[in-house]
């Protein structure tokens, strides 16, 4: 497991991080996004989408539809599992289809379904430090993605 921590002091910093992540994350990766309400999970997804040629204004938190698919330089599968009650309900959605795809699967509130995540995934924890300040902790879980946090660190 490799981990980096980085502090964003503005929305532009978050956009920069999203752009770097879009380049660094290989297709087929599952990204677990965790943070409180308003921490910036969807903002980060929008920044990644924008870098991949998907208009940021088209990206919304899929709270009620659970999953949105966006086509760009890499396909994004954007889940919001806030309303999912338990692992069984999540597994009924067939997430393995997306986990095993050539896109990037982004799961907001992923800590709610952590037992359902694949062996290897990228974990991003967002902590609110102030009105525009966020701390991002990016960790690889499993051996396959150990280089991703290091690539991000080098690009920051």
User: CATH 3.20.20.140: does it fit domain 3-155?
Assistant: no
Sign of the alpha-carbon dihedral angle for 72, 134, 67, 61 = negative
This prediction has a pTM of 0.94
Query: In the predicted model, is pLDDT for residue 34 greater than 80?
Result: yes
Query: To the nearest whole number, what is the mean pLDDT of the chain?
Result: 95
Mean pLDDT of 90-117: 95
How sure is the predictor about 91, in pLDDT bands with cuts at 50, 70 and 90? Answer: very high
C-alpha distances (whole Å) from 152 to each of 41, 61, 65, 139, 147 are 17, 24, 31, 11, 9
């Amino acid at each position: 497991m490799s981990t980096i921590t980085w502090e964003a002091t503005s929305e532009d910093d978050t956009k920069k991080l999203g752009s770097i992540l879009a380049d660094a994350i290989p297709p087929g990766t599952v990204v677990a996004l965790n943070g409180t309400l308003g921490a910036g999970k969807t903002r980060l997804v929008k920044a990644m989408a924008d870098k991949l040629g998907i208009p940021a204004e088209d990206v919304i938190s899929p709270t009620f539809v659970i999953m949105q698919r966006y086509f760009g330089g890499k396909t994004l599968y954007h889940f919001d599992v806030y309303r999912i009650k338990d692992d069984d309900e999540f597994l009924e959605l067939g997430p393995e289809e997306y986990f095993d795809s050539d896109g990037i699967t982004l799961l907001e509130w992923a800590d709610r379904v952590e037992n359902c995540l694949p062996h290897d995934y990228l974990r991003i924890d967002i902590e609110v430090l102030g009105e525009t300040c966020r701390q991002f902790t990016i960790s690889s879980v499993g051996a396959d993605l150990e280089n991703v946090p290091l690539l991000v660190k080098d690009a920051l």
